[in-house]
Chains A and B, each alone.
Chain A
């Protein structure tokens, strides 16, 4: 999102100053995604908070660190093989089918009133990271953003809402410093 604002220099000066203030954080966000462990811990309290829902401990078709890097490639399975070729095999030989529908069903987040949060909500599993990294997601212009049913056929989250205590005990939001601490989990850029 901020990347986009940065392109608006000629049009809105207040955006410019805001953008410039946020620029280092944007870079930090991208650095996180790219696996470069150089997040500036001095910027505690500034900028967006990343929201990571509590995990139930079950893992997806790949370990978390690999999922973070490779989920776009994995989704190509459905984009090409399933839609165009008709292959509907389950990715793990049974439970998971590697589709965006599956992602949404496992990773759906409920708010305080026990309703699934939609794509316009920062707590939405996909939005939380993508917003932080300023990478827009177009998937949900067409794809459904929440489960149709209870969405718990493979619960990676506990559907209780956002809770970061698994990462930083006793906290409800993560700072850049917290992020710096978990960033090393991300495997390094292979491109």
Chain B
């Protein structure tokens, strides 16, 4: 059941956190049914489960579905992300230089006063421009759709930051210490949300999904039987800037 409420939202859009126009950002909305999921519950079973000794394959395409109509404090997800990856250990950088994997973007219709808030992380594009431009092969996409930076190869040129239309990437400006065991990160490398690849390979959901009280669903977009695919098939979802045809793995409802 897709209800287009575009008419209700006509008028000038303003954004806080991001400066570019979000006219294209909001292009309709989807009424989402109440799909409550217990926190931490595993919502993804894959028909193509692989053992830890197998390579990631393109049989699986990991994705997320964010329901912005749920009354969730997205900062809980940001905190869970920061905690999982040990972000926030920069002490000398300016605030706008510090790494963030998830930005909370607030969008408001000046005409109606209608506003929404949504978490924007790396959208794990199927055709990622960040990978296209990387001169070293550091910016890479795993066969299962996860886009990440191989810091062993990153030279910090920041081309990928310029290429990413979602402003998803950050550059580490200072020497770091006290990183998390599972998320090595350091000065001179670009980084972004890696969909908690360490957790996924371990059979867990990404940290933001776990912290979202069911407002973010994670799963295999290639498997029509997975909960995320079923919900997308039944209720639909939107990709941010779908017009760019990058086919992001992150879908939204309520935008």
Contact = CB atoms under 8 A, between A and B. Distances in A.
Interface of A: 79, 81, 83-90, 100-101, 104, 118, 141-145, 147-148
Interface of B: 51-56, 140, 142-144, 148, 150-152, 175-182, 184-187, 189, 197, 201-202
A144 B176 CA distance: 10
Contacts of B150: 83-84
A86 B142 contact: yes
Nearest to B194: A83
Most chain B beta-carbon neighbours within 10 Å: one of A88, A101, A145, A148: A88
Contacts of B175: 141
B55 A86 contact: yes
A84 B55 CA distance: 9
Contacts of A81: 55
A86 B201 contact: yes
A-B pairs with lowest CB-CB distance, top 6: A86-B56, A89-B53, A142-B186, A142-B184, A141-B186, A88-B52
Contact of B181 (A86, A118, A144): A144
12 contacts: A84-B142, A86-B54, A86-B56, A86-B144, A86-B197, A87-B53, A88-B52, A90-B52, A141-B176, A142-B176, A144-B181, A147-B181
A144 B52 contact: no
Q: Classify the interface of chain A: helix, strand, loop or mixed.
A: loop
B202 to A, nearest CB: 8
A11 to B, nearest CB: 24
B175 to A, nearest CB: 7
Nearest to B179: A144
Contacts of B143: 86
Contacts of B181: 101, 104, 144, 147-148
A143 B56 contact: no
Nearest to A88: B52
Contact of B152 (A83, A89, A145, A148): A83
B143 to A, nearest CB: 8
Contacts of A101: 181-182
A104 B175 CA distance: 20
Given A83-B152, A84-B142, A144 B184 contact: yes
